[in-house]
Chain A
């Protein structure tokens, strides 16, 4: 198992390098000049100096290697020296945002907690809703509960989050005036009142994403339960005289959770991407919103770093899913 894990982890490195190259080339070879937005009154030689100061003077392969060095060596060293209070990074060049002229990673670190809270909580809530629904729908297949569950999950799967979000705002913020429609990031939770406000402003974004995730996961849970319910070992367990509760919750559930756990792990990067839209709806200033404003401002280093971080998430959780599958199901270990 360890060998398999190491092999898979090593295999992820060239994948990530290739993805970073794809993103870099896409941004670099695209038509359009980052200095095109500057006023036309700037003389050409000054414009050239601006280009050089943005790091555009070097040929493309040199810039790619420089970026790799900045992202994979300088930034981790900087984080390390922040953590250990030792000066490891010195004055190494960091990835600088064109828009704010401050290090990209610093801005991302500021934005990360909002995204993590909303996305993380919504995924946990989504899984918590989905699992019982999936289990009951499978156990009572074709009952009214199953029919309604199937319909609701189909709706949840089809209605885009930017419509459910807006709809929730219309109902709960505009009509009922219960919840705020805009997520206030400056809110500091220090006492009960501010905690209540924090909960109130989190309910809608979290629920929108949670429902969307729950719709997908509950389908997987149902299908996986159905696969297992007809297996021989279930009949054996029943024949032994085990109570129905034990058969379902101990024998069937544990086996059917194996593929579902991998699906949950594989879904995490997609949730981060989906959060881009939800953050825009509720004006949460997280990573997704950062990506949108950087795209609108043609802030290439920021866009590149953010896109690459999303790619890292995908590769990392694919890896996690593979390894989890091996750990949970000894039948498919590859060693």
Chain B
């Protein structure tokens, strides 16, 4: 994630400490490097590996690994490496956007509930209600219901993209909201907030200037873990055939399409599957390290 990279530039000694602690967690460091590698690959990969993922070369279909096609080709002769890169672009984009949406929603609800007592009860009941909803079935249902409409309004690709991002975002904000609310409740009682309030700071500015910077660490941790969650959910949806259409590859969709050829070309499921697993693993390690690094009680040791 980009926050982790920013630690290298020392704006204050606190972030230096955080970076120092983060570095000492070997898994987190490797995870971070790998995730940066994935980000660079999906961002600049198409410039280096310039084969069009949609290009159909029917004569080269079902070929194995070779110089021309390092990861082989699929049943239509499309280059697997190019498709994995293109798929990664969508999967990572969905992951990051859905995470941003869910963290924004979660922080908003959490701050509102924690800072303004009159919203606390209803908003937390609302959060509880969301936690009691069966999320995967509901995700599938929502996609079934809204897919055709959004597709006809926004076009097949951006329609499905927006739908999946929104659907993942609005079903995964609850954990962040609960954590943020808890932290806001405890920070609200501190002296500096009282001091700020006593000089007449309006509540909105108080939240933005004093509360939000202090709850940044749990937000960052849940944001990191949120990426992993969003990538897995998107792949699961695509795997169930309810995500992106097959001419618009994502990692989950590539895996799903490859399972049809499991008997003949078992190696084909490996690449998208490995891409999902390694990305999620690296993000989870990063989140783990970030949690340790941002916790001042652990950092001192």
Contact = CB atoms under 8 A, between A and B. Distances in A.
Contact of A158 (B228, B236, B241): B228
B276 interface: yes
B273 A23 contact: no
A2 interface: no
A152 to B, nearest CB: 11
A273 B136 contact: yes
The A interface, classified by DSSP as helix, strand, loop or mixed, is helix
A269 B136 CA distance: 11
Contact of B135 (A15, A166, A169, A273): A273
B273 A163 contact: yes
Contacts of B263: 174
Contact of B149 (A22, A32, A269, A314): A32
A64 interface: no
Contacts of B142: 26, 30
B129 A15 contact: yes
Given A15-B129, A157-B284, A307-B138, A162 B235 contact: yes
A173 to B, nearest CB: 8
A228 interface: no
B178 to A, nearest CB: 14
A162 B239 contact: yes
Contact of B240 (A26, A151, A280): A280
Interface residues of A, number: 47
A169 B269 CA distance: 11
B137 A291 contact: yes
Contacts of B270: 167
Interface in A256-282: 269, 273-274, 276-277, 280-281
A306 to B, nearest CB: 7
Contacts of A323: none
A170 B19 CA distance: 42
Interface in A146-198: 151, 154-155, 157-160, 162-163, 166-167, 169-170, 174-175, 181
A298 interface: yes
B133 interface: yes
A319 to B, nearest CB: 10
B266 A23 contact: no
B133 A22 contact: yes
B99 to A, nearest CB: 16
Nearest to A280: B240
A160 B232 CA distance: 7
Contacts of A30: 142, 145-146
Interface in B125-151: 128-129, 132-138, 140-142, 144-146, 148-149
Contacts of A306: 137
Contacts of A151: 27
Interface in B245-269: 252, 255, 259, 262-263, 266, 269
A318 B145 contact: no
A32 B145 contact: yes
B259 A166 contact: yes
B285 interface: yes
Given A158-B228, A163-B273, A315-B132, A292 B140 contact: yes
A307 B137 contact: yes
B277 interface: yes
A174 B262 CA distance: 8
A181 B235 contact: no
Interface in A120-158: 151, 154-155, 157-158
Nearest to A16: B132
A27 B137 CA distance: 12
A295 interface: yes
B230 interface: no
A31 interface: yes
Contact of B276 (A26, A160, A291): A160
A310 B132 CA distance: 10
B142 to A, nearest CB: 7
Contacts of B124: none
Contacts of A318: 132
A166 B255 contact: yes
A158 B262 contact: no
Given A169-B262, A277-B239, A307-B138, A31 B145 contact: yes
Given A158-B280, A160-B232, A166-B255, A273 B273 contact: no
B216 to A, nearest CB: 25
A303 interface: yes
17 contacts: A30-B145, A30-B146, A31-B145, A32-B148, A154-B281, A155-B281, A158-B281, A163-B255, A163-B269, A163-B277, A166-B262, A167-B273, A170-B266, A269-B134, A273-B137, A296-B241, A303-B141
Interface of B: 27, 128-129, 132-138, 140-142, 144-146, 148-149, 228, 232, 235-236, 239-242, 252, 255, 259, 262-263, 266, 269-270, 273, 276-277, 280-281, 284-285, 288
Given A31-B145, A154-B288, A315-B132, 7 more contacts: A19-B129, A26-B145, A31-B149, A151-B27, A158-B228, A269-B134, A280-B240
